[in-house]
A = this chain, B = another copy of it.
């Protein structure tokens, strides 16, 4: 019990420090100090700093993928549109619950480091597989229009990552608090509009039946 909690405390310290001082700017000694443990404890669980980084990124991405996989599995019983919306809501919540790690991982992905590249490729290839299956099913069942799938994935990922890549921009320029519940919810609804109006087949009927979204300028 004690050792599990030590491990988790190391993870939390590392996530915080990597995020505020950068991976390169953080030493194992500092992580130990913040955790109030010995450097040897960190070596025991994670080997070295690289091991800790790998663990952080992998466990984050596993949780992230689990959400998209759940939406993908729902393709058996729900419409593609519902599955896509499930994935979007799930990702937005997961990101919000893990905001320090989300910010760190999203920024790490923008770098081209050898350490990260392999992990990324593995997880992001699975992510692509699930998204692609949802989009393909939607197109096949004539629920989605004939969108070029890789571009739709890019748009979606660009929109989803924005609040975590640019929190200062949001708070200081747009004056919306990136991690507030109502902001996350409103932003999810806006991404859903993209699904409803841009991705879905445009029939007047479909447009009429979408619930109007409250204005909030």
Contact = CB atoms under 8 A, between A and B. Distances in A.
Contact of A148 (B110, B172, B202, B215): B215
A150 B128 contact: no
B155 A174 contact: no
Q: How many copies does the complex hold?
A: 2
B158 A190 contact: no
Nearest to A146: B215
A44 interface: no
A209 to B, nearest CB: 12
Contacts of A176: 150-151
B190 A152 contact: yes
B215 A174 contact: no
A186 B207 CA distance: 25
Interface in A181-204: 186-187, 190-191, 193-194, 197-198, 202, 204
Given A120-B168, A149-B217, A157-B162, 15 more contacts: A109-B166, A110-B110, A112-B168, A124-B173, A125-B173, A128-B173, A146-B217, A150-B170, A150-B175, A150-B176, A153-B174, A157-B166, A158-B158, A194-B194, A197-B197
25 contacts: A110-B166, A117-B168, A121-B172, A121-B173, A124-B173, A128-B174, A147-B190, A148-B186, A148-B216, A149-B217, A150-B170, A150-B174, A151-B190, A154-B166, A154-B170, A155-B190, A157-B162, A158-B158, A158-B159, A158-B161, A159-B159, A193-B198, A194-B198, A202-B207, A204-B204
